[in-house]
A = this chain, B = another copy of it.
Amino acid sequence: MSLRERKAARKKEDILRSASLVISRQGFHNATMEDIAAELLMTKGSLYYYFKNKEELLYRCHDLILSDAMDKLESIYLEKISSTEKIKKAIKVHLDIAIREKEIFNLIVKPEQLFSEAHIESIISKRDKYSGIFDEIINQGVEKGEFIIKQKKMARMIILGATNWIQVWYSPEGDFSKEEIEEIYAEYLLKMLV
């Protein structure tokens, strides 16, 4: 990759970061291209130099965060620790991202309302892959006898639902630190599995 290309790649990332920020603040539907550009002191026209349209930009945004989440989750999955530890760590990581990227994470919820067919498939498949790791961890735990749960899919849904919800109420100024919250969530959700 040449210097030029690296610069362009960096700029693209900057834009995605800016987009994430604006979206987190205003929600996607209220985030205009102008807003996103303004955040970077650019003009909206310039965005189109890097992304062919708004959907593409949003898609990349979404993809970036989901990929990042995937990486973290996968490396937990590969660790040599008990399933109990794995699910706890997974919950914490998921909470962490859900707090940081709240709006983007919401895109994962209803991609149909925002993305056209061109992207929807890829998004859903990535989302399923992500959930799949949770399933795997739960499966292993059940096999090893660490977890006692019959409806494994449902348990995963409960876990993801509960953790995603955190965006709604979490505030850095709250009574508990992020770490404390993560610890409690992990502990409580684990009670459900054992």
Contacts and interface: CB of A to CB of B under 8 A. Distances in A.
B189 A30 contact: no
State the oligomeric state as a number of copies.
4
Interface in A161-194: 161-166, 168-169, 176, 181, 184-185, 188-189, 191-192
A40 interface: no
A29 interface: yes
Contact of A113 (B30, B161, B192): B30
Mostly, the A contact residues are: helix
A27 B113 contact: yes
A169 B157 contact: yes
Contacts of A188: 149, 151, 154-155, 158, 192
A163 B162 CA distance: 8
Contacts of A176: 154
B184 A29 contact: no
What 10 A-B pairs come out closest when comparing CB atoms?
A161-B165, A161-B162, A27-B113, A158-B162, A162-B162, A29-B29, A191-B192, A192-B192, A188-B192, A154-B184
22 contacts: A27-B110, A27-B113, A29-B29, A29-B113, A110-B168, A149-B188, A154-B176, A154-B184, A154-B185, A154-B188, A155-B188, A157-B169, A158-B162, A158-B165, A159-B162, A160-B165, A161-B163, A161-B164, A164-B165, A188-B192, A191-B191, A192-B192
